[in-house]
Amino acid sequence: MSGRGWKASDELLRLLRAVGRASLAYDIQDSHSGNMAVRWKDERGQERIVITATGSQKGDLEPSQICFLSAEGTDFGYYKASSETDIHARILALPGVGASMHAHVKELTAVTMNDAPKPSRPPDFAPVDTLGYHHLGRAVPVDWFAVPSGSAEMTRTVPDRLAARPLTVIYGHGAVAKGRTLQEAFFLLCVANNAGAVVRSMDRLGVDVESLREKIRNGPAGRFAPPPPAYEIDGDERCDFPEEEEILREFLKAGHRIFESRLSPFHTGSMSVRGVDSMLYAPKASMPADLRGPLLKVPLAPDAADGPEVKVHKAIYAASDFQTVMHCHIPEAEASAHFSYPGETGPCDRIIPVDAEGSFLYLAVPVLPPDFTPAELVGFLHDYKMAVVRGGGVWAVGTQSLSEVLHHPSSLREICHYRIAARERGLDLRRMEPAKARRW
């Protein structure tokens, strides 16, 4: 390890600390697990690899736990740097890669485990949620290694896997992702964990996941709403409305809560506050502390260049008096939208709360098919304030504030939690639901 590299720049230290803290907050690391690596040019313009120290607490990184290595791999120190430095070095050598990250994505790890005798290659993981499908691909490789940590075998295999795809799973040991930036690698790991959480929730609900996967293989277009926007790496610091200090604060508060309460994976979802002819818009709504996304001012008038996400915000505002809109990807809600009651064919068209607070706040939460029209969505939002799109996330609205609209998806996660727990315990959901809710 180069002695010159002991001093991380403030900017770099802030980034690694922020992602480290966020990964702990999102529960995809234990206190000391995982590692992060980025390509970086030093003050003399020399390409270097910066990587977290082995055994460092990723939630509380110190400057001395950021290690600087040469990109050529000639002075790998191994005294302090991660035991998986060789793997990261090879990943960072891939074209266009600026960062890599390994995390213990527990939900995904859990659903990719099996009890087949080893050694054997586990099946690929096929996401059934829109974020996982569109950002990770229809099949994510899972590799079993005899020595699943920092081994030569991993150093050979993992970078090869990532040459063709953004993320790969190490059997029983989380996943590794590459990105143009560290934020992108972290984003992919969060999306992967979320994809695992969707499947795990489906398992607990008794949803036939394999059958769903088969349907997705045969016709993915009919199973998902329009794809989420591609991950943008530029402009995270952009803020078009610095003069609106109070609203800015509200965006950041809501963004933190979406992320930390796992209402949507890092830098996914969207939220907006409407003005008279423009809306203040956060296209990466899920924002942990110190890892903001762009905060934009967007005209309300439809624009041919509008992506599907912005279009829905504008369509809701055009057809209502609502002042705030939020879109999140709650894994428990996505799983619940695929639930079928015993003896019934087809997934449910509503999620009925069985807990006390959920029941009084929301008699029922409607579930729309993936090919919903904005008019249908607005109609449901008027009456229920929130709707789940099967294969497309949760949309919610507020008459006044971001805080108000945040409450809806937050409540929904709880509602789904109790339903899933009840089902897992073998309780009869139909008997627990108010009968009238079925007729709404």
Specify the residue, 146 or 356, whose C-beta has the smaller distance to other proteins: 356
Specify the residue, 217 or 249, whose C-beta has the smaller distance to other proteins: 249
- The β-bridge partners of 220 are none
How far apart are the C-alpha atoms of 403 and 429, rounded to whole Å? 31
Task: Assess 230 for contact with other proteins (CB under 8 A).
Answer: no
> Nearest to residue 129, comparing CAs of 202, 230, 41, 232?
202
In whole angstroms, the minimum distance from the beta carbon of 418 to other proteins comes to 17
Specify the residue, 120 or 403, whose C-beta has the smaller distance to other proteins: 403
Binding mask 268-297 for other proteins (x = CB under 8 A): -----xxxxx--x-----------------
Complete edge-to-edge strand list for the sheet that includes strand 365-368: 296-299, 278-282, 270-274, 324-328, 393-398, 386-389, 365-368, 350-351
Specify the residue, 250 or 332, whose C-beta has the smaller distance to other proteins: 250
Task: Assess 257 for contact with other proteins (CB under 8 A).
Answer: no
In whole angstroms, the minimum distance from the beta carbon of 400 to other proteins comes to 4
In whole angstroms, the minimum distance from the beta carbon of 402 to other proteins comes to 9
CB 159, CB 89: distance < 8 Å: no
Q: Which of 80, 284, 338, 407 contacts other proteins by CB under 8 A?
A: 407
Q: Which of 83, 120, 149, 399 contacts other proteins by CB under 8 A?
A: 399
In whole angstroms, the minimum distance from the beta carbon of 434 to other proteins comes to 8
> Nearest to residue 134, comparing CAs of 328, 392, 394?
392
Task: Assess 241 for contact with other proteins (CB under 8 A).
Answer: yes
Specify the residue, 184 or 250, whose C-beta has the smaller distance to other proteins: 250
Q: Which of 55, 164, 400, 428 contacts other proteins by CB under 8 A?
A: 400
Q: Which of 13, 247, 252, 432 contacts other proteins by CB under 8 A?
A: 247
Q: Which of 36, 177, 195, 406 contacts other proteins by CB under 8 A?
A: 406
Specify the residue, 275 or 370, whose C-beta has the smaller distance to other proteins: 275
Stretch that binds other proteins, among 61-69, 177-185, 306-314, 398-406 (CB under 8 A): 398-406
Task: Assess 396 for contact with other proteins (CB under 8 A).
Answer: no
In whole angstroms, the minimum distance from the beta carbon of 344 to other proteins comes to 23
Complete edge-to-edge strand list for the sheet that includes strand 142-143: 66-70, 47-52, 35-41, 99-103, 175-179, 167-170, 142-143
Specify the residue, 171 or 380, whose C-beta has the smaller distance to other proteins: 380
Task: Assess 363 for contact with other proteins (CB under 8 A).
Answer: yes
Task: Assess 383 for contact with other proteins (CB under 8 A).
Answer: yes
Specify the residue, 79 or 360, whose C-beta has the smaller distance to other proteins: 360
CB 105, CB 196: distance < 8 Å: yes
Task: Assess 436 for contact with other proteins (CB under 8 A).
Answer: yes
> Nearest to residue 403, comparing CAs of 304, 256, 216?
256
Q: Which of 250, 309, 334, 433 contacts other proteins by CB under 8 A?
A: 250
Q: Residues in the site for other proteins, rule: CB under 8 A?
A: 241, 244, 246-247, 249-250, 273-277, 280, 320-321, 323, 360, 363, 378-379, 382-385, 398-401, 403-404, 406-407, 436, 439-440
